[in-house]
Structure formats: structure tokens, C-alpha cells
Amino acid sequence: MSQSFRFFPKFVLEPRLEVSGQWMILSPIIAIILTLFSGIIIFSLLGKDPFLALYTFFVQPLTTMFGITELLVKGTPLVLIGVGLAIGFKANVWNIGAEGQFTMGAVFGGGTALLCQHMESILVLPLVLVLGTLGGILWGAIPAFLKTRFNANEILTSLMLSYVAVLWLSYLVHGPWRDPAGFNFPESQLFSDYAMLPILIENSRLNLGALFAILVVLAAWILMARTIIGFQLRVVGLAPRAAHYAGFKQSGLIWLSFLISGGLAGLAGIAEVSGTIGQLLPSVSPGYGFTAIIVAFLGRLHPVGVLFAGLIMALSYIGGENAQIEIGLPAAVTGLFQGILLFFLLACDVLVRYRFSHRSVLTGGRCE
Amino acid sequence: MDLLPVALTIITASTPLLLAATGELVTEKAGVLNLGVEGMMLVGAIAAFAAAVSTGSGLIAILVGAFSGVAVAAIFAVLTLTCLANQVATGLALTIFGVGLSALVGSNFVGISLEPLPQLNIGVLSTIPILGDLLFGHDVLVYLSFIMILLVGYFLSKTRSGLILRAVGESHDSAHALGYSVLTVRYLAVLFGGFMSGLAGSYLSLVYTPLWAENMTAGRGWIALALVVFGTWRAGRIAFGAYLFGAITILQLHVQGWGINIASQFMTMLPYLATVVVLVFISSDKMKIRINAPQSIGKVFYPPR
């Protein structure tokens, strides 16, 4: 009986002795190219000129200064959340509820901004940001507590809490926090200038949040590459048993992952409302919390990679909006692209840990 | 207050959960964790709805819905089983993909409404007072959900094939050593999961609403996943869980009718909060989970050399 698993008739897939660094980089690039090819097919199926569509989707937004600032505006939350998720995913802690932590960041921070509506002090903004981050941390702490104390699956609890958070925000803006002078629209008052993140480039929406994203990338890079905590997180993900024998506290690392990723999602949430939107709306996120999952994988779970991946996914958002306006493509194309990209990425990632070969070269020992 | 209509609505709310959880039970028993239930349901929902609008046939619509679920499950199967990709990540990808694909296809179907599937009255049985209405006056998918959970329960615990499937899920290395094809069993189990999720989605868009809305599953796929844990991978307990959650979903519709004044958002939160509570309740007994969970779940199978 053949001892290797058949992939194609002639070739077999066999484990590499070491993870391939080359394929770590190549895999996302190939996945993006394959996604663009699928784009040609999808656009043709939708009855659009595929090359015009690709141009309006991926190139045209970048031809104006405003387009580029918008890319950074949309990239900011994706990078902030993505960096946090990547840290958790590295340690095999699956926080899928970033959407909820983002929303709670907006609720806590936005609520603070509304409370401080009449305070004219430069301290309002820091307070708003801190409370927003705390909101995310709090919402991330719940699944961490339920996981470490009650062994409850963090994927399901964090996701369920996302629904709860979104409904909670919806209740607030439909009810107690609705702007009394807002013609009954479900919107809060506009935040005062003291609660708003300063704009970096005039006539754009680019704000200080983008700078936070870059700082967070650097901090996370140092944390993961240069500290003992980063080392422990990586070991837990790669070899849970080794981590156990080494005496690393698993529950501590689960807590840490959730507090970091929840806090960063919360920061992203408050940066979004106090930097870009300026008030609370029933929905403050076009699915950033879920897209950030793709960002984390596309960025190879590395903070710097996440920075690039965040910009690429941000382009898919503004490209989608642009294509909707310019050539009438349905907005949902963006979501489809994002899903296809992740599929291709996961498929290409096989080659990071396995390789094709004609016959088995390895002789002994099992590789997992 | 008349309880019969309440009981009937509970059955309608429970059916999609039961269908999807039945499929996921088989998938997980074979050792595969498919987190893409939500995505498969959405694809099934829009496919069935589109088929119903264009053909007018309920049967064709159901089949199209179910097999669309199979088609997207096949992507998951190829990635996780052949390409050895991480099951958690691939399941999430399947959900993101399903949300996007269904929204794109569905953009042409927003605002169209359908005649719901007809009730199949089973002869004299449906004329029995109360019991007749409760058990014998439903559409075909409700009966199918009853039948499938019974069949799956029987298959898993009483048949040889079911034993092989469980063996694959408990220890893929041992099953492989005994000469069983781990991959074949897992492929079939994943595709069956897709079939049932497709049916669950069809039920939502053909019967429950019956219309198409973006993201209309509203987390039911995730609740179905939680139900499998809640039912500790046993058919009977999963069915109980599905009806419990159906009841909680329906509660929100009736509470306001009973004159209790609570913002609708809080009532809508109930099933999600209940899922968290139930997971905590079941999982806190680590031993119970360890005994019942398939031991190879979520692990990549690479044949030993």
C-alpha cells in the first residue's frame, strides 16, 4: 500500500522538515493573483466588462488623494483588530467576536463622549479612548473567563456575544441615546470637537487613529519577537504539550490573548466613531471584525504582515463602494471576494508545511 | 391562552436548528469540525429561494437548496481533507464566503415573497384533535427533520457503518490501521453536513419567513454548532436542545403579546445569551465533554508512515 497520501495521480504530498519561509510569503501573493482571476470570471458572469471592473475595483480608488486617505481610514480598524487577532491565533486562541468587542468599544467610548458633551477640556478625548478600549477589553474578558473557568468554547461564546453587543448598541441609539433633535432617526448626537480624534490631512477623514494602528503594529512586533510572553504565545500555538511541560500557564495566555485582542478591537471601535463617524449609529462596522480574521491570516499572523494585509482588504472595501457607484456592481461582491481570497490562501498554505514529491523521501518518524 | 399555536410556532422555529445540528453531528462524529454551518445555510437558503422563484416547484427548490449546501461543503472538504488546511480557519472562511455569495446572488431577490410550502396532511392522522395539528399537519421539511434525527441516531449507535464513522472520529490513526478509508468516511460526513445545512437554509427561506434577506440565518448556524456540544454529541439530546432553543426564539415573539414591555433588542438577544449560558453549563463538566467529544475532532489526518 502506498505510504504517502495521494494528491495528484503522480505526486504525493509530504511534510516538510521545516516550515517553508519562502512559501509563507509566496502563498498570499499567489492567493491574491488567483482571486483576481476569479474576479474576471465573476465580473463576466455579472455581465460587466471584467477589465473595466477590475480597474474600477482595484486601481481607480488609488488614483486620487482622497482615495488614498480613505484606504488608510478603512485600513485603520482592520489593522488594529487584525494585529490583536493574530496574536491570539498564534496561540490557538480563537477570538471570533472582534465585531462585538469593536462595537462595545464604540458603545463605551461613544457613551463617554455623549456624557462629556458639554465639557470643554482636552482631557475628554483621552478619557473617551481609554473607556472605549476598556469596553473592548471587558467584552473580550467574558469569553476568556468562560473558557478558563468553565471550559466553554471561545469561538461560540465570543461570536454569540457579538450579536449581543450589536443589539445592545441598536437598543441604545433607538432608545436612551437617541438625539432628541434628530427627527426620530436612530442616531446619537454628534460628538463635541473635544471628543473627536484630530484629522491629519485636511479635506479628508484621515485621523489620528491611523497613527495608533502603526504604533500598535510596532508594539505587537516587539511583544511577539522580543519578549518572553511572545515566546510563550508562539510555543503554545506550535506545541501545546511542550508549553505544558515547560510550565507555561495556558489559562494566563488565553486571558492575555483575549485582553489584547479585545482591547485593540475596542480601540478600533472608538477610533472609528470618534475619528471617522462622529456619532453613534445602529451599525458602526461594515463587518470589520470578521474581515480582520482574513487580515490576520493574510498577514501571516505577523504584525507587519497584518499592516499590509489590512491595506489590501481596505482596498476591497473602497473598491467595492467605487464599483457600486461607477458601474453598478452589487455591494456584496466585496464579501464574496474576501471569502474567495481566504479559500485560496488556505489552499496555497498547504505548501508552507508540505511539498509535492514523486516518491517518499523521508524514511522514518511521523511529521505532523 | 391557547397553547397549540405557540407549540406549532416552536416547531417551525426549531426545525432549521434541528436540521443543521443533525448534519453537524455526523460531521463531528467523523472527526471534522466544520464551523461553516452558517455559510452553508445561507447558500442553501438563497439557492432554494431562487429555485422556488424561477421554477415554482417546492420540491426542486428543496433539492437545489440541499445540494448547494453539498457543493459549498465540498470546498471545505477539499481544503481540510485533501489540502490538510486548518479546520477552524477553513470553517470561518466558508462562513465568510457563504455570507458574500448569498448576498450577491440574493441582491436580485430582495423584496420578492413566496407562497410557503404546503402542509402535508397525513390522512386521518391529521384530523385527530390537537395531536393531529401538532404532529401531522406540517410541511415536508418538518417531517424530514423528525425522520433524519431518528435515522442519524440509529445509524450512529446501531449500525456497522455508524461504528466505522465513529471509529474514524475517535482515532483516525487506528481506523486507518484497520484498513478503513478515513478520507472517504470524512468526505461523506462533511457532504452530509452540507446537505443538512442546505436543507436548514431552504427551510428558512421557503417556509419560515418565506422571503430572502441578507444574513437571514442570524446566527442560527452557530447556534446549531453549539447545540451539538449541548447535546454532548447525542441525537436525542440534540433534538431536545433544538426544541428548547426554538421555544426561546418564540418566547420573544409572545412576551410582548403578554403585555410585558421590554425593548425588542433585549428579546432578540435571548437565543444568543441562552447559547452562552447553555455552553457554560454543559462545558463546565470537563469530564463529560472529554468522554463524549470525538477524540480526533479538528485534527488534521496525515496517514502514518
- Supply the mean pLDDT for chain A: 88
The pLDDT tens digits for A294-350 are 999 999 999 999 999 999 999 999 998 898 888 888 888 888 889 999 999 999 988
Q: Are A135 and B198 in contact (CB under 8 A)?
A: no
Closest-CA residue to A107 (of A285, A242, A228, A241): A285
Strand partners, B59: none
Residue A354: helix, strand or coil by DSSP?
strand
Cα–Cα distance, A100 to A163 (Å, whole number): 7
Question: Is A187 part of any domain?
Answer: yes
Question: Is A57 part of any domain?
Answer: no
Q: Does residue B13 come out as left (phi exceeding 0), alpha (psi in the -120 to 50 range) or beta? A: alpha
A9 touching B (Cβ < 8 Å): no
Question: Is A138 part of any domain?
Answer: yes
Q: Which residue has the cell 420578492?
A: B112
Chain B residue numbers with beta carbons less than 8 Å from the beta carbon of A291 are: 96
DSSP of B4-42: HHHHHHHHHHHHHHHHHHHHHHHHHHTT---TTHHHHHH
Cell of B51: 429555485
Question: Is A53 part of any domain?
Answer: no
Question: Is A62 part of any domain?
Answer: no
Q: What is the pTM of this model?
A: 0.90
For A342, the closest chain B residue by CA position comes to B93
Cα–Cα distance, B23 to A366 (Å, whole number): 32
Contact B104 A7 (CB under 8 A): no
Residue A360 has pLDDT above 50, yes or no: no
Contact A160 B304 (CB under 8 A): no
Percent of chain B with pLDDT strictly greater than 70: 91
Contact A336 B275 (CB under 8 A): no
Distance set, CA B62 to CA B17, B41, B59, B68, B259 (Å) = 16, 12, 5, 10, 38
Domains and CATH numbers, chain B: 3-292 (1.10.3470)
Q: Which residues of chain B have pLDDT under 70?
A: 1-2, 117-137, 304-305
The minimal CB distance from A332 to the residues B84, B93, B100 is found for B100
The minimal CB distance from B92 to the residues A160, A293, A354 is found for A293
Query: Which of A78, A90, A150 is most worth mutating to test chain B (most B CB atoms within 10 A of its CB)?
Result: A150
Chain B residue numbers with beta carbons less than 8 Å from the beta carbon of A155 are: 35, 88
Cα–Cα distance, A331 to B101 (Å, whole number): 11
Strand partners, A5: A13
Query: Which of B78, B79, B96 is most worth mutating to test chain A (most A CB atoms within 10 A of its CB)?
Result: B96
Contact A293 B275 (CB under 8 A): no
Residue A12: helix, strand or coil by DSSP?
strand
Question: 3-class secondary structure for A260-308?
Answer: HHHHHHHHHHHHHHHHHHCCCCCCCCCCHHHHHHHHHHHCCCCHHHHHH
For residue A293, how many other CB atoms are within 10 A of its CB? Answer: 26
Helix H or strand E segment including B3: helix B3-29
Chain B residue numbers with beta carbons less than 8 Å from the beta carbon of A160 are: 219, 222-223, 226, 272-273, 275-276
Cα–Cα distance, A118 to A170 (Å, whole number): 24
The minimal CB distance from B85 to the residues A153, A332, A347 is found for A347
Cα–Cα distance, B227 to B149 (Å, whole number): 13
Q: Which residues contact B166 (CB under 8 A, 6 or more apart)?
A: B29, B30, B156, B294
Count A/B contacts: CB-CB distance under 8 Å.
Answer: 157
For residue A198, how many other CB atoms are within 10 A of its CB? Answer: 11
The pLDDT tens digits for B94-150 are 999 999 999 999 988 888 887 776 666 566 666 666 666 666 667 888 889 999 999
A158 touching B (Cβ < 8 Å): no
Question: Is A104 part of any domain?
Answer: yes
Q: Are B7 and B134 in contact (CB under 8 A)?
A: yes
- Supply the mean pLDDT for chain B: 88
The minimal CB distance from A343 to the residues B79, B222, B283 is found for B79
Interior/surface letters A302-311, b for 16+ CB within 10 angstroms, e for the rest: bbebbbbbbb
Please indicate whether residue A332 or residue A216 has the higher confidence score (pLDDT).
A216
pLDDT at B157: 93
Question: Is A165 part of any domain?
Answer: yes
Give the closest-approach CA distance of B303 to chain A in angstroms: 7
The pLDDT tens digits for B22-49 are 999 999 999 999 999 999 999 999 999 9
User: What ipTM was reported for this prediction?
Assistant: 0.89
Chain B residue numbers with beta carbons less than 8 Å from the beta carbon of A156 are: 222, 225-226, 229, 275-276, 279
Cα–Cα distance, B294 to A151 (Å, whole number): 16
CATH at residue A217: 1.10.3470
The model's confidence at residue A47, banded by pLDDT at 50, 70 and 90, is confident
Give the closest-approach CA distance of A287 to chain B in angstroms: 10
Q: What share of chain B is helix, strand, coil (3-state, %, to 5)?
A: 75, 0, 25
A22 touching B (Cβ < 8 Å): no
Which structural domain, as residue segments, surrounds residue A19?
5-44+84-357
The minimal CB distance from A156 to the residues B263, B266, B279 is found for B279
For residue A149, how many other CB atoms are within 10 A of its CB? Answer: 11
| Number of residues that this document lists for chain B | 305
Count of structural domains within chain A: 1
The minimal CB distance from A343 to the residues B97, B269, B302 is found for B97
Chain A residue numbers with beta carbons less than 8 Å from the beta carbon of B286 are: 151
For residue B251, how many other CB atoms are within 10 A of its CB? Answer: 17
Give the closest-approach CA distance of B224 to chain A in angstroms: 10
Strand partners, A14: A355
Give the closest-approach CA distance of B167 to chain A in angstroms: 20
Question: Is A130 part of any domain?
Answer: yes
Contact B283 A153 (CB under 8 A): yes
For residue B295, how many other CB atoms are within 10 A of its CB? Answer: 11
pLDDT at B305: 56
